[in-house]
């Protein structure tokens, strides 16, 4: 049975991070019971900071480290967040989360469907020396539809498709994932996950191609559509108190297919590390 989105539920491995020890009593009180009047949606927010270290670009041989503010606001079925800010609300620390606006379209006891809009910042030729002479990957607006399904209380799967809606050669992407949630303690959850990413020809050529006539000394390369990346990682999230939460993640990704064969790919295997701390209220 599909229910209106009234309270935040742990439907996926990433979302299960939200159900930490500081919240069970409050969450149980908010969950409507049979015969009860539906509760009014309430606003929740998180405000914190993240330190992230990862490759300078997908396939790059350099690294970049950044410290940035991260925040998220939820009201009923709607959420607005900065890049990776929604992780503090229990939605997982995905490296592809660039923030934006999202809404839950449908939600049941084991599944959810959501839609979102986010800004894809693209890639600049100044990001790495090897990119000099190549066209920049222009920033654009991406629309995404995603779904998650809880196979068991601990195992879940998910999939999503995103599209460049401004026609700036961003193309389309499809992602799939599987995750396992391990409740280490009442306050701490550990999530193990793996995923795969696919792109159409337009996406692969803008990110891994070398067009003819460019000022780059690299050979011309025109990748085709298909699987371009697989990844695996672990996330840990712990409620330090009723309002303070800490999280950390380590993720390894490896380029596949034409993306791996691209002249732009210096190192097909990359890893990223993220740690963060936030104050959140008021679940």
Q: Domain span at residue 145? A: 15-32+41-281
Q: Which residues contact 150 (CB under 8 A, 6 or more apart)?
A: 11, 12, 110, 111, 156
Q: Would the pLDDT of 98 be above 70?
A: no
pLDDT on residue 7: 29
Count of domains observed in the chain: 1
Q: Is 171 inside a domain boundary?
A: yes
> Is 75 part of any domain?
yes
Asked if 276 contacts 88 with a C-beta cutoff of 8 angstroms, the reply is yes
Cα(114)–Cα(30) distance, integer angstroms: 22
Instruction: Judge whether 244 and 47 are in contact, CB under 8 Å.
Output: no
Residue 274: HSE in the Cβ half-sphere, 13 Å Cα cutoff: 32
Q: What is the pLDDT of residue 13?
A: 37
Would you state the structure tokens that stand for residue 197, as one six-digit string?
């990413």
- 97 confidence band (pLDDT: 50, 70, 90): low
pLDDT score of 2: 37
Instruction: Give residue-wise pLDDT tens across range 232-272.
Output: 999 999 999 999 999 999 999 999 999 999 999 999 999 99
**Residue 9, in any domain of the structure:** no
CATH number at residue 65: 2.40.160
The least confident of 35-44, 45-54, 123-132 is: 35-44
**Tell me: the pLDDT tens digits for 100-129?**
999 999 999 999 999 999 999 999 988 899
């Amino acid at each position: 049975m599909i229910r209106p989105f009234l309270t935040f539920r742990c439907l996926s491995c990433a979302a299960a991070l939200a159900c930490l020890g500081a919240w069970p009593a409050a969450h149980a009180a908010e969950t409507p019971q049979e015969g009860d009047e539906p509760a009014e949606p309430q606003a929740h927010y998180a405000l914190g900071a993240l330190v992230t270290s990862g490759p300078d670009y997908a396939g790059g041989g350099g690294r970049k480290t950044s410290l940035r503010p991260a925040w998220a606001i939820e009201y009923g079925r709607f959420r607005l967040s900065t890049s990776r800010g929604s992780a503090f609300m229990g939605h997982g620390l995905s490296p592809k989360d660039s923030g934006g606006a999202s809404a839950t379209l449908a939600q049941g006891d084991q599944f959810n469907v959501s839609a979102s809009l986010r800004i894809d910042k693209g890639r600049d030729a100044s990001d790495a020396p090897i990119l000099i002479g190549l066209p920049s990957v222009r920033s654009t607006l991406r629309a995404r539809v995603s779904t998650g399904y809880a196979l068991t209380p601990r195992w879940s799967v998910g999939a999503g498709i995103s599209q460049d809606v401004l026609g700036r050669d961003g193309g389309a992407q499809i992602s799939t994932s599987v995750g396992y949630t391990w409740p280490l303690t009442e306050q701490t959850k550990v999530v193990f996950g793996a995923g795969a990413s696919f792109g159409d020809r337009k996406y692969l050529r803008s990110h891994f191609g070398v067009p003819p006539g460019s000022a780059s000394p690299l050979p011309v390369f025109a990748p085709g559509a298909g699987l371009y990346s697989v990844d695996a990682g672990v996330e840990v999230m712990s409620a330090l108190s009723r309002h303070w939460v800490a999280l950390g993640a380590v993720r390894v990704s490896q380029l596949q297919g034409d993306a791996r064969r691209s002249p732009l790919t210096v190192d097909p295997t990359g890893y990223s590390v993220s740690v963060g701390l936030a104050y959140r209220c008021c679940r």
